[in-house]
Amino acid sequence: MFRNLLATLNNEVSGDAAKSLVAHISQWHRIQASPMYREAAEWLHTTLQSWGLDSQIERFPAREGALAWSEPMFQEWWCDEATLDLLEPAAANSRRRLADYRAVPLSLMPRSSAAAGEYEVIVIDGGDRPEHYDGLNVRGKLLLTRLMPMAVHHLAIERFGAAGLIFDGMRSVPEVSPPGDLQDDIQYASWWWWGGETRAFGFALSPRVGADLRRMIARQSAPLRVRARVRSHFADGTIETVSAFIPGATDAQVLITGHLCHPAPMANDNASGAAAVMEAARALHTLIASGALPTPRRGIRFLWMPEMTGTYAYLAAHEAELPRIVAGLNLDMVGEDQDQTGSSWLLIRGSDALPSFAEPLLEALREGYFGQAHSFSGQGDFPLFRHAVVPFSNGSDHYILGDPSVGIPSPMLIQWPDRFYHTTADTLEKVSPQSLARSSALAATYAYFVANAGPPEVAWLAREMTYRFEIRLARKLQSASTAALGGAAAEGPAWERRVAFRLDRQLAALESLKRLDPDFDPQPWRTESTTIADAAWARARDLLDDWRVKDVPTLTESDARRVPVRRYRGPISLRPHMRRLPPEQRDAARAMLRRHADFTDLPADVALYWADGARTLAEILDLTELETQVRDPEGMLAYFELLARLELIELR
């Protein structure tokens, strides 16, 4: 059904050419809403046109007060030069340069305000709690901290008057970069200003240089002083998105995305995703223009944008097109050399709140790469790369597209974890041409298959979806049965409810095939899926029927009946909106978010997805638990009440 298409695209794409594109993109310091990002976007636009693609560059307001749905925009920022010099203890001949923006752009926190002067440096343990400042006078000084700047901004800068920060932290991912790794590299740390904040400047140092400064401060009695110079600018401007379009026979579309932003030199994040989308677009255009592939039924749109912000801006400006986009795919960090980065090639599924044919289709296409190598006897084959399919997670543009209020089912391809993620060590030599070629060809195959799917493809896909539903459900039930036989304590919802939930989502996913063939009759496959679920539960019921949590936390009767009604499409970024609260309420909201940290990341986004204007909080609580295995009625209620206080939803 798809193997000839995959083979054709494998022959057309070039991983080496895609890596050359990564080299071009990664040379720019691609800060969102900046002249540097704009240069990269204009180069991309010109390159697409040189290949013969129909490309457009669109510009959206970058200024305080502008909104794309609920997402606030911000001003453009750029920097001419920035340096940080150590003045004490005095060196024999000259001061010691700690940071130079021209040499290492990431050594200056993006969106730093202008500065010129000498400052005392004070070490702070933490910085995100008021008690961390007990006994410290930080006004007008620089704080040396390992916490991200926006985590300490409201206290360090706004409440206690620090002039700025020096950040020497390093993210730890135990599987690939344990604590103490990458001592000579710099972690990406950034300011974000949406309006009304006290702006500040900041520098980022490697952990080794930071540790050296900390020892100096601990040893000497006199204050340690530095000289900072930052020539930076803010202005109302624009952010750019670039799109390319291959027309189809109808006005329906498939959407392939890869964000273009991120600081230099970041190559895998996400120059690799942007380059892979470019190579997929070039390959499809070449094959369709030459007649090697026929014009598809639906158009294929490729989109490059600033992560999150640009996606909100583009979609908000093209709302009329949303119903015509039948599916999407997001490419983020797809070029990793797995031997160096420690990553696996992941397929991130969409949320259960928007079930679709997209994920099982992408799984099936991806398995076309599994026969790369053969066993010693030649009797079996297997891939030569690490890979997995994992549940929905947020953190990239697919989570905007796949919000049911937007309605574009969009799995994501990503390599994770990555030892060099968001550091100056994310450089071109960590990029694999083979990974790029695989991702480009898979994205192109997915795009064309969906764009050209008709009744034969839909019939095959219904069969494929039913097969994968059976396997996935059987594996989950057998794993739970093994745990029950081993004496493990039950966690989460009762398994009978889980089976019913999985079946309900399968039936809804089968209905999504009508987006590809309006005449498709899902009823036979709905009946078969129901039979599969009943049989699977019958096999496991003797072990799992009583293996459940008897008492679960719930909402009060009155709160359970409340109905959240969304006022905006798309997920909600809380931090900029919390600026509107009085300081005491803002502090209380931050404390609530910390107290319910297990809920207020992914489960909060999922809960908002399930809020369709008809479901009650009780229903949303159950559905969120069924999808994420997190049940926190107090946290969920506080989250929705906060959204209502911020006028982002109504709570009826």
Of 99, 309, 89, which Cα lies nearest the Cα of 205? 99
Which of the 8 DSSP states describes residue 188?
-
d(CA 536, CA 470): 8
Task: pLDDT band for 378, please (50, 70, 90 cuts).
Answer: confident
**Class of residue 171 by CB neighbours under 10 A (exposed 0-12, middle 13-18, buried 19+):** middle
| Rg, C-alpha atoms of the chain | 26
What pLDDT, on the 0 to 100 scale, is given for residue 379? 82
431 neighbors 336 (Cβ within 8 angstroms): yes
Tokens of 211: 């540790």
Q: Which residue has the higher pLDDT, 489 or 223?
A: 223
For range 78-92, the mean pLDDT: 84
Class of domain 3-73+238-452: alpha beta
pLDDT digits (tens, 9 = 90+) for 524-551: 999 999 999 999 999 999 999 877 666 7
d(CA 258, CA 274): 5
What pLDDT, on the 0 to 100 scale, is given for residue 94? 61
d(CA 67, CA 286): 38
Among 214-223, 336-345, 392-401, 617-626, name the one with the lowest average pLDDT: 214-223
- Cα dihedral 585→591→597→602 (10° resolution): 20
Asked if the domains 3-73+238-452 and 76-235 are classified in one and the same CATH topology, the answer is: no
The domain locations on the chain are 3-73+238-452, 76-235, 455-544, 557-651
What pLDDT, on the 0 to 100 scale, is given for residue 209? 98
Segments of 419-528 assigned E as strands = none
Q: Which residue has the higher pLDDT, 125 or 500?
A: 500
76-235 in CATH: which number? 3.50.30.30
pLDDT digits (tens, 9 = 90+) for 109-143: 999 999 999 999 999 999 999 999 999 999 999 99
What pLDDT, on the 0 to 100 scale, is given for residue 380? 83
pLDDT digits (tens, 9 = 90+) for 182-191: 999 999 999 9
Among 9-13, 126-130, 300-304, 526-530, name the one with the lowest average pLDDT: 126-130
**Cα→Cα distances 496→534, 631, 633, Å:** 10, 17, 21
For range 316-322, the mean pLDDT: 98
Q: Which ranges of 229-357 would DSSP assign to H, the alpha helix?
A: 273-290, 309-317, 338-341
Q: Which residue has the higher pLDDT, 381 or 426?
A: 426
pTM of the model: 0.97
What pLDDT, on the 0 to 100 scale, is given for residue 374? 81
What pLDDT, on the 0 to 100 scale, is given for residue 556? 97
What pLDDT, on the 0 to 100 scale, is given for residue 242? 99
Strands of the sheet with 299-305, listed across from one edge: 54-62, 237-246, 299-305, 253-259, 325-332, 412-416, 344-348, 387-390
Tokens of 235: 């202005």
Which of the 8 DSSP states describes residue 349?
P
For range 465-480, the mean pLDDT: 97
User: Given a cut of 80, is residue 91 above it in pLDDT?
Assistant: no
Tell me, rounded to whole angstroms, the distance of Cα 152 from its chain centroid.
Answer: 23
CA angle 465, 466, 472 (to 5 degrees): 85
- Residue 91: CB atoms within 10 Å: 10
What pLDDT, on the 0 to 100 scale, is given for residue 227? 98
What pLDDT, on the 0 to 100 scale, is given for residue 549? 66
Task: pLDDT band for 90, please (50, 70, 90 cuts).
Answer: low
- What DSSP string runs through 482-510? HHHHTTPPP-SS-HHHHHHHHHHHHHHHH
What pLDDT, on the 0 to 100 scale, is given for residue 273? 98
What pLDDT, on the 0 to 100 scale, is given for residue 220? 87
Tokens of 25: 């993109």
User: Given a cut of 80, is residue 489 above it in pLDDT?
Assistant: yes
What pLDDT, on the 0 to 100 scale, is given for residue 376? 82
For range 456-473, the mean pLDDT: 98
Task: pLDDT band for 89, please (50, 70, 90 cuts).
Answer: low
Task: pLDDT band for 561, please (50, 70, 90 cuts).
Answer: very high
User: Given a cut of 90, is residue 92 above it in pLDDT?
Assistant: no
Sign of CA dihedral 204, 21, 394, 67: positive
User: Given a cut of 80, is residue 406 above it in pLDDT?
Assistant: yes
User: Given a cut of 60, is residue 3 above it in pLDDT?
Assistant: yes
The residues facing 225 across adjacent strands are 120
What pLDDT, on the 0 to 100 scale, is given for residue 356? 98
